[in-house]
Amino acid sequence: MPSTMQRALRIVDLAARLVPARLRDDWRQEWHGELAAAADAERESPRRAPPPLVRYALGSFSDAFWIRQREVADLDAIDDLRHGWRQLRQHAGFAVTAVGILALSMAASVTAFSVVSQILLRPLPYPNPDRIVTVWERQIATPGKLDVAPGNFIDWRARATSFSQLAAADPYSYDYTGGDRPEVLKALNVTEGFFDVFAVKPLAGRFFRPDEHKKGNHQVVVLSARFWRTHFGADPNIVGTAIPIDNLPYVVVGVAPDDFQPHLLEDAPNDRQIWAAKVMEEYEPRIRVSGYWAVAGRLKDGVSIEQAQAEMDTLSSQIETENPRTNKGVRASVITLREHLVGDVRPAVGLFTAAVFGVLLIACVNVTNLLLARGAARQQELAVRTALGANRWRLVGQLLVETLLLASVASLAALVLAQAAMRGLSTALTHLVSWWSAKRSPTATFTASTRLGSAWSSACPAGCRRPRSSA
């Protein structure tokens, strides 16, 4: 068993880790000497002995903390921060102007970066999203994509080999009378394998079985997560329960996940509240002229989108030969789901981003000019400090700390403005970009990077010039 003195020495050695390295050895020797003196006093005068050695040694922690605190308080950076804060308070007009310019420009930059990240960079909320494609009709003579006619989809699904799943969605609406008042629900009637295309898992229950796409078994629905929460309080027991739709009992078989809103329909971009099992009507295979379906598919492993397009071109030519009256010049276009969702906004988003970063650059130049102008007014102060022994790099360091403090205050204001802008954009863009989420925007990280970049770009030219002019 270690002796009392050994335990006390170990406590002091542990507390020594808190002491700055340059002072540690002297501090440890001083405490060892105090422990030795306390032990001698205890032996010589037991009646008036100091506190036990172990309890006495615990006091080394408070001493070590005090030394560490004084060491930090004496750092040049701390002094520079105090001095910088005093300068901002004394020149409030300059500070408000600079902070306002930086905050507005950084907030715009952060918002632009978040929009680009959400729309163009963030993965779609499905497994292997690059394998999901949409298939459309097109006319050889005219550009653009068209909705798919039921008869063409049926032929594609029967003959195409490039897809592990190919499914269609028919826009529809249902009357729901199970709430406080009747509602018209936006819905999709989907063919077999629709949810398999996106490889999603239900929040509750299951998706449609193959036999439920036949008459007599088709009165089943899958609820959206939002509709499930707002109308049924997220009750998992709703699965298996019949709800009144179009005055008929439809059984709820499952609930789709939160992020599931593919937005396949360009003419109807709003969220769907329910999905129903599509039953193929007898007349639909004969419809080839007017298209009103949206088609999505999942490519087989190893099949590229170019290979799928080549196969669909071949199939379209075959169908045209078989149906020359209805399919003259009709071809199929295979594009990725992301391209379908955001293809039209890429140029606009790119131009918007470039413009915003141009604004940030102009803001940095303006703040730099403000700092240079203010530096001219501080020549006497800097000259006095130089005469007292401050070297050029010490002055540059202080000016950089001041500007970093200025940029930090601006970044806090920019975060508030950017979050407000993101909340507004989330309301406007959620219907257009189904995976949009303001909560997942990387605003904090980008703001920190922007803040540092703005501070360096603004402070370094001004900081390097001021000491030279004051000399």
Banded pLDDT at 372 (limits 50, 70, 90): confident
- What mean pLDDT value characterizes the chain? 81
pLDDT of 444 > 50? The answer is: no
Residues 125, 148: Cα–Cα separation, whole Å: 25
Residues 6+ apart with CB under 8 A from 394: 76
The closest alpha carbon to 363, from 116, 90, 109, belongs to 109
The closest alpha carbon to 195, from 214, 222, 219, belongs to 222
Could you state, in order of their start, the residue ranges of all structural domains in the chain? 4-73, 76-124+345-470, 142-328
Class of residue 103 by CB neighbours under 10 A (exposed 0-12, middle 13-18, buried 19+)? buried
Q: Taken in order 460, 462, 465, 469, is the CA torsion positive or negative?
A: negative
Residues 279, 311: Cα–Cα separation, whole Å: 27
Question: What per-residue confidence (pLDDT) applies to 87?
Answer: 75
pLDDT of 469 > 50? The answer is: no
Question: What per-residue confidence (pLDDT) applies to 1?
Answer: 42
Question: What per-residue confidence (pLDDT) applies to 266?
Answer: 67
pLDDT of 369 > 70? The answer is: yes
Class of residue 355 by CB neighbours under 10 A (exposed 0-12, middle 13-18, buried 19+)? exposed
pLDDT of 116 > 70? The answer is: yes
Full DSSP string of 331-389: EEEEEEHHHHHHGGGHHHHHHHHHHHHHHHHHHHHHHHHHHHHHHHHTHHHHHHHHHTT
pLDDT of 192 > 70? The answer is: yes
Q: Could you identify the residue written with the tokens 């629905």? A: 221
Q: Which range has the worst mean pLDDT, 267-281, 348-362, 410-424, 435-449?
A: 435-449
pLDDT of 151 > 50? The answer is: yes
User: pLDDT above 70 covers what percent of the chain?
Assistant: 80
Q: Which range has the worst mean pLDDT, 125-129, 213-217, 369-373?
A: 369-373
Q: How many CB atoms lie within 10 A of CB 1?
A: 5
pLDDT of 70 > 80? The answer is: no
Q: Which range has the worst mean pLDDT, 40-44, 251-255, 315-319, 339-343?
A: 40-44
Average pLDDT over residues 280-296: 91
Q: Name the residue with higher pLDDT: 8 or 161.
A: 161
Banded pLDDT at 346 (limits 50, 70, 90): low
Q: How many CB atoms lie within 10 A of CB 335?
A: 16
